[in-house]
Amino acid sequence: MIPMIDLKKEFGNIRDDVLAVVSEILESSQYILGKKVSELETRIASYHGVSNAVGVASGTDALHLALASLGIGHGDEVITTPFTFFATVEAIVYRGARPVFIDIEHDTMNVDPGEIEARITKKTKAILPVHLFGLPADMTRIMTVAKEHNLKVIEDCAQAFGAALNGKKVGSFGDAGCFSFYPSKNLGAYGDGGMITVPDPSIADIIKKLRNHGSAGAYKHEKIGFNSRLDELQAGILLIKLKRIDENNGKRRLKASLYRKLLSGDIITPFEKPGMDCVYHQFTIRSGKRDRIRDCLKDRDISSVIYYSVPLHMQVAVEFLGYKRGDFPVAEEAAEQVLSLPMYPDLEEATIENIADIINNV
């Protein structure tokens, strides 16, 4: 079976380095919030050109703690996209806040900044854009609206480590950038992990307390916090992978351009525009014949996944928000047409040619 992502191959490329760092950490007997976590935080902050980064237990926790640190709480409204992974919305609900959806742009499948102003109320506290599939949302327009209305901006960068808009990395535009190191992410750990990039050191301090039981030092608890610490083993492994992230994102771009060159007919390939550096966390095509394409790929042992078949406003878990089918037609149409194809840095050209042939024949 051709997988969506070949983690075995990736491990083979870095095996010796990973085993060495795992052994070093196990020998050190410092397993939680040690030197590797601090080094990773420093490197990720500097990679993004922000003063702080704080490691946490997952991408979901990154969103949750970022919202908490910025004072988003009960009764507040947070404007976001209905076309994303469910965690984006769960984090808002954890805070007792209300997710307010706006539709997406047809081309980018990211939130449509033109829809924000109409949904702002007295309760609106923040905008939470997602850089979906590795493509930056339109942060220039989003930051302009946020400034005009004095709203916080929390970027969901779970799928977009290294993506940039006019040379500025995602996660460095808003009040917080939230990253996931889930193993299949383009910067993935060998377990769960997350990181928050933050320009304001006082917010970083709050997050550091929140991730560790509200603690401001040994057994001094200033807040009711959480247990959301990034562990040393994951940080050590991520430091190895971080060294290769630009090279690997570059390889993903090359694979994407080959797919784009070979796919023909009425297949819509991912949107690209000068100045938008997509990292192709997914290579997601659109077609009215999506299900037939999927079946044909499956018959030839090629994986493909529908991210996402049900937009969030139509999910059972958030029925209490009162949305219904038809509220966000662009997101609903995307859910009926999208198909993500195998994508990873070492994906072979011959495999891409084969996949493109199968799709073109449909």
Ligand X SMILES: Cc1ncc(COP(=O)(O)O)c(C=O)c1O
Residue 52 makes contact with ligand X by CB under 6 A = no
Binders in 256-315 for ligand X, by CB under 6 A: none
> HEC profile for 328-358?
CHHHHHHHHHEEEECCCCCCCHHHHHHHHHH
Taking CB under 6 A as the criterion, the residue among 10, 44, 60, 152 binding ligand X is 60
Closer CB to ligand X, residue 60 or residue 212?
60
Q: Please tell me the distance from the alpha carbon of residue 159 to that of residue 163, in angstroms, as a whole number.
A: 9
Taking CB under 6 A as the criterion, the residue among 126, 127, 130, 204 binding ligand X is 130
Residue 186 makes contact with ligand X by CB under 6 A = no
245-262 and 232-243 helices, crossing angle to 10°: 60
Tokens 């040690």, located at residue: 34
Residue 180 makes contact with ligand X by CB under 6 A = yes
Surface-to-core class of residue 304, CB atoms within 10 Å of its CB (0-12 exposed, 13-18 middle, 19+ buried): buried
Closer CB to ligand X, residue 248 or residue 282?
282
Give the contacts of 12 (CB within 8 A, at least 6 positions apart).
none
Taking CB under 6 A as the criterion, the residue among 52, 58, 69, 186 binding ligand X is 58
Residue 249 makes contact with ligand X by CB under 6 A = no
Residue 158 makes contact with ligand X by CB under 6 A = yes
Stretch that binds ligand X, among 1-9, 81-89, 196-204, 317-325 (CB under 6 A): 81-89
Closer CB to ligand X, residue 146 or residue 158?
158
Residue 194 makes contact with ligand X by CB under 6 A = yes
Stretch that binds ligand X, among 85-93, 269-277, 327-335, 336-344 (CB under 6 A): 85-93
Under rule CB under 6 A, how many of the chain's residues touch ligand X? 15
Smallest distance from the beta carbon of 91 to ligand X, in angstroms? 8
Q: Please tell me the distance from the alpha carbon of residue 119 to that of residue 160, in angstroms, as a whole number.
A: 26
| 3-class SS shares of the chain: helix, strand, coil, % to 5 | 45, 15, 40
Residue 156 makes contact with ligand X by CB under 6 A = yes
Residue 59 makes contact with ligand X by CB under 6 A = yes
What phi, psi does 61 have (nearest 5°)?
Answer: -65, -35
Q: Please tell me the distance from the alpha carbon of residue 18 to that of residue 153, in angstroms, as a whole number.
A: 35
Closer CB to ligand X, residue 84 or residue 248?
84
Residue 155, SS3 per DSSP: strand
Smallest distance from the beta carbon of 90 to ligand X, in angstroms? 9
CA distances from 156 to 56, 221, 299 (A): 14, 29, 35
Comparing every residue's Cβ against ligand X, the nearest one is 59
Q: What is the CA radius of gyration of the chain?
A: 20
Binding residues vs ligand X (CB under 6 A): 58-60, 84-85, 87-88, 130, 156, 158-159, 180, 182, 192, 194
